[in-house]
Structure 1
Amino acid sequence: MTISGNPEITLYNNPLPKGCELCRLGSKLVVFISGECGDSCYYCPVSSERFNKDKMFANEMEVKDLMDYIYESYRMNALGAGITGGDPILALDKVTELIGMFKEEFGESFHIHLYTSGRYVTNDVLKELVGVGLDEIRFHPLKEEYKEAIRKALKYDLDVGIEIPSIPGEGERTVELVKWAKKEGVKFVNLNELELNERNFFQLNSRGMKVAHGITGAKGSYENARKVVEEFREDKEITVHYCSSVYKDVVETRTRFLRTIRFSSKAYEGFTGEGTVVRAILKGKVDDLTYGEKIGNDLYSFYPEVIDELVSKYDVSEVKIVEEHPDSRRLKVSERLIYSKSQQAGYSS
């Protein structure tokens, strides 16, 4: 059987789990429900801003209320949500309430998956999660005893998987975990490329790990995952899936941004293939606003293609082209002055 995917991006031996399929479409809302966690993995990629802090984020935006997740879902026309942390089980009340809100607002087809180590997963926890409509649960069994939670989950009406980092030098251990998962009836095992970031860098670097793939991918992580996927090339009973840091950054996030632009951008906003919004910010006197939007005192936002007309028609003091992320934060990527009356700068749209 041929392994599907791109060696630099993602590899898999069988059809992907539903949660991954929707991520590929950019249609999953990322729910960071809390940074609190009872474990402290040396390779944990959660940022210092979030780690062990009781904070909530919808995609990249910090939120204060569960309804903010509903609003952000509408902004991107989400088809589902992935609940992560920390360990979401430590925020079980919020998790179950939110899942119920998602299902009530968007219907049973709104697919929800959740990540957990399994440390706090009991039968009572699973009953609550299944009762409110959780569709898929992914375990990161840090310790041997956490596997018992996986066995418990397999008794419920859930898609059960394992998701772990692909750690260089741990190929044999990973293969044994996949064999165990297959024997138990686990549906899939996801291997994420190990990433170095500002919080885990010294821990990983002290173990000889360096960036060698994309911006954050650890040397040897891809090679380890590829060997594991190839080990199960012919296996029809369990999906083994490698997901790279490049895929998460370049494909998944960009696709989600493009989806958000499609459903939420304003008529006067352009966009790039990278999933950023482009608009012109004009400062001046505009008497008859027929297109665009007033955003402040003598400040207007317009589609870049009409700048020629505006500069010739109105008393314009300056025009800037601004590139931003399309989500609620509107994080500015770049800003470029293309016209200044005081400097008589030339410009091109």
Structure 2
Amino acid sequence: KQLKQAFGEEHHIHLYTSIPFKLEWVEKLATAGLDELRFHLLDGTTKQYEEVIHAANDAGINVGIELPCEPDKEDSLFALLEQLDQLPVQFLNLNELEITTGNQENMDVRGFNLSGGLSAAAEGSFELGIRLKEAAKDKSFHLKFCTASYKDAGQLRARFRRRAEATLRPYEILSEDDTILFGAIPTEASDARDDMMELQETLQISTSWLRYDAIARRIEMPLSVAEELAEVLSVPVQMVEVHPTHERLEVSIVHLNGSSVS
């Protein structure tokens, strides 16, 4: 509550936990203003978390899963994709496994080697992450794969931030991770002009706050506007996260109103 009071209602707050806590806490967290729950699954399955996931979703809290991409757990990770597809989960964050001073002994026992290059990534983790991302492309949730090189590249992130600050479109904002966030509504090109005119007239917003991306086939807008629309529209409304590079590599898509593109 204090964070929302200090930074405003638009300040995004997420809680990271491995505990499948009591259901009575869900409503308390929602009332306090929690926007998002990220679970680290202790046993790699959703079994002991399903009740709290459903309860959090019913309370209006976005739910996601965050795990390391461990090469020796390939079968369980692919099985997890099927489990998550049956639950109201918005995203799965997979982090490329890193070998550090703290976990090196355990990594040696499990037979992991460094993948090479400048990062501390474990061999096989990146390749598995790419295959999992491909397998999840038609699932009901979005899979985000975060590479070790991206997490470790402080200088790269600083350069990204400078570039992003210089090139932000009027409807975009920077995230805490120095990525770019905006709202979007998937729209076919044939409907884009009429839909944008209707949005502009209904919301009384500047034309600079709306843009149609013909390649991604979506109307882009401020995230705050998308969050309001998500409460009243039955069509999919999304939060899009991209890297501040020329290619604007898409990092993640979160469905704000539970609808997804068929």
Q: Do the structures match in fold with TM over 0.5?
A: yes
* Count of aligned positions: 160
Structure with greater helix share of residues = 2
**Structure 1 stretches of 5 or more lacking a match?**
1-99, 263-349
AA matched with 2:9: E
Of 105, 113, 123, the residue aligned with 1:202 is: 105
Q: Which residue of 1 aligns with 2:216?
A: none
Structure with greater strand share of residues = 1
Of 73, 77, 85, the residue aligned with 1:170 is: 73
- Structure 2: distance between partners of 1:173 and 1:192: 16
SS in structure 2 of the partner of residue 163 of structure 1 = strand
Q: Which residue of 2 aligns with 1:228?
A: 132
Q: So what's the TM-score if we normalise by structure 1?
A: 0.42
Of 139, 145, 149, the residue aligned with 1:246 is: 149
Of 26, 32, 52, the residue aligned with 1:126 is: 26
Counterparts in 2 of 1:256 and 1:142: CA distance versus 1, 3 Å = farther
- Structure 1: distance between partners of 2:92 and 2:3: 26
Q: Which residue of 1 aligns with 2:242?
A: none
Q: Which residue of 2 aligns with 1:114?
A: 15
Whether the 8 Å contact between 1:229 and 1:241 is mirrored in structure 2 is yes
- Structure 2: distance between partners of 1:168 and 1:199: 19
Deviation at residue 252 of structure 1 after TM alignment: 9.0
Alignment of 1:36-115 (within 5 A): 100-115=1-16
AA matched with 1:137: L
Deviation at residue 256 of structure 1 after TM alignment: 9.3
Q: Which residue of 1 aligns with 2:35?
A: 135
Greater length-normalized contact order (CA 8 Å, ≥ 6 residues apart) = 1
Q: Which residue of 2 aligns with 1:292?
A: none
Q: Percent identity among equivalent residues?
A: 36
- Structure 1: distance between partners of 2:57 and 2:155: 29
Q: So what's the TM-score if we normalise by structure 2?
A: 0.55
SS in structure 2 of the partner of residue 212 of structure 1 = coil
Deviation at residue 175 of structure 1 after TM alignment: 1.8
- Structure 1: distance between partners of 2:131 and 2:97: 15
- Structure 2: distance between partners of 1:256 and 1:122: 43
* Runs of at least 4 residues off by over 6 Å: none
SS in structure 1 of the partner of residue 68 of structure 2 = strand
